[in-house]
Amino acid sequence: MGTTTYREAVRTALTEALVKDPRVFLMGEDVGKYGGSYAVSKGLLAEFGPERIRDTPLSESTFVGAGIGAALGGMRPIVEVMTVNFSLLALDQIVNNAATIRHMSGGQFSIPLVIRMATGAGRQLAAQHAHSLEGWYAHIPGIRIVAPATLEDARGMLWTALEDPDPVLIFEHQTLYNMEGPLADEAGAVDIDHAAIRRPGKDLSLITYGGTLGKTLQAAETLASEGIDAEVIDLRTLRPLDMATILDSVKKTHRAVIVDEGWKSGSLSAEIVARLVEHAFYELDAPLARVCSAEVPIPYPKHLEDAALPQPPAIVAAAREVVGRRG
């Protein structure tokens, strides 16, 4: 058991994949000589060479399209898009090609493509580099959406994703890259089909993912000091949602707060609320609540960025209201 960072866990996963399977290669903006915009691929060019660590032009549509073609040709490409905002420049390739070719070909062709991208706010990168748009992609059939929030998942989700015959989009929250903690040396591939209960509890369910997991766990500790025992669920996979785990938790606690860094309107949190109303309405002892980002482009100034994002005090306040206690 050693100590590592989220960044190093992702790099280890990339290295393992490149060593294990000669069909795997990494491509994207600045992944080679520069070592990646978040230093995730630092050193990989020297180790594996330019054939397998490929710097691309600043054209997301082009290199995501090249990744789709490589996957069709039998390779196992890992495409890195610098931020989720920039992925919108490849939306046609992702939504109209990668997500649909299996279905339009009657199952004759599959797209074993992995696309990694940084998401979320908290590092003062302003509105064109800091939104949480993974909920948009979770709307699209034909792709799997995962959001590693722990060192184990940062280390282990990549290989599982590479074994999937269909496209997998991995959303790595920008604030997590420096997260440090213990990780077993033998840590390997992890399940990407099921949510995880990160903290058991009996009074309410706090449902979250990615960059807000740490804030939600912090809020749960505050609530515990007030005698409120919160269960924290890490969704891990946003499409397909593991509703069985969510429903089991809510049927136990009878209350829920969904914490989602996306905007509230048309969000993943809205989808979870709708499904809970459809499948567990009579299990609820209180109205469902959501803590989401403010309905504004993410601001640049630190105090405004913090105010726009879900924070532990807001999660605590929502939980108190759901259980009928006001601070």
Return the exposure string of 163-181: e unless at least 16 CB atoms fall within 10 Å of the residue's CB, then b: ebebbbbbbbbbbbbebee
pLDDT surpassing 60 at residue 68: yes
Taking residues 29-37, what's their average pLDDT? 95
pLDDT surpassing 90 at residue 185: no
Residue where a domain stops, chosen among 183, 205, 222:
183
Quick check: is 189 in a domain? no
Higher pLDDT, 187 or 266: 266
Quick check: is 188 in a domain? no
Residue where a domain stops, chosen among 183, 207, 241:
183
| Residues 156 and 230 placed together within one structural domain of the fold | no
pLDDT digits 0-9 by tens, 211-245: 999 999 999 999 999 999 999 999 999 999 999 99
The pLDDT of residue 184: 87
Cα–chain center distance at 2? 24
Model pTM greater than 0.85? yes
pLDDT surpassing 60 at residue 284: yes
Quick check: is 131 in a domain? yes
| Residues 162 and 272 placed together within one structural domain of the fold | no
| Residues 112 and 176 placed together within one structural domain of the fold | yes
Taking residues 311-327, what's their average pLDDT? 90
Task: Tell whether the torsion through CA atoms of 108, 113, 83 and 258 is positive or negative.
Answer: positive
- Kindly report the three-state secondary structure assignment for every residue of the chain: CEEEEHHHHHHHHHHHHHHHCCCEEEEECCCCCCCCCCCCCCCHHHHHCCCCEEECCCCHHHHHHHHHHHHHCCCEEEEEEEEHHHHHHHHHHHHHHHCCHHHHCCCCCCCCCEEEEEECCCCCCCCCCCCCCHHHHCCCCCCEEECCCCHHHHHHHHHHHHCCCCCEEEEEEHHHCCCEEEECCCCCCCCCCCCEEEECCCCEEEEECHHHHHHHHHHHHHHHHCCCCEEEEECCEEECCCHHHHHHHHHHHCCEEEEEEEECCCCHHHHHHHHHHHHHHHHCCCCCEEEEECCCCCCCCHHHHHHHCCCHHHHHHHHHHHHCCCC
pLDDT surpassing 90 at residue 256: yes
The pLDDT of residue 306: 95
CATH number at residue 204: 3.40.50.920
124: amino acid identity, one letter: Q
Positions marked catalytic: 60, 129
Quick check: is 107 in a domain? yes
pLDDT surpassing 60 at residue 327: no
Mean pLDDT, the chain, rounded, equals 96
What's the structural domain count of the chain?
A: 2
The pLDDT of residue 204: 97
For residue 71, what are the domain limits?
A: 2-183
pLDDT surpassing 90 at residue 303: yes
Quick check: is 249 in a domain? yes
| Residues 77 and 129 placed together within one structural domain of the fold | yes
Within 10 A of 49 (CB to CB), how many other CB atoms are there? 12
pLDDT digits 0-9 by tens, 69-119: 999 999 999 999 999 999 999 999 999 999 999 999 999 999 999 999 999
| Residues 72 and 159 placed together within one structural domain of the fold | yes
Helices 213-225 and 312-323 pack at an angle, to 10 degrees, of 50
CATH number at residue 171: 3.40.50.970
| Residues 38 and 72 placed together within one structural domain of the fold | yes
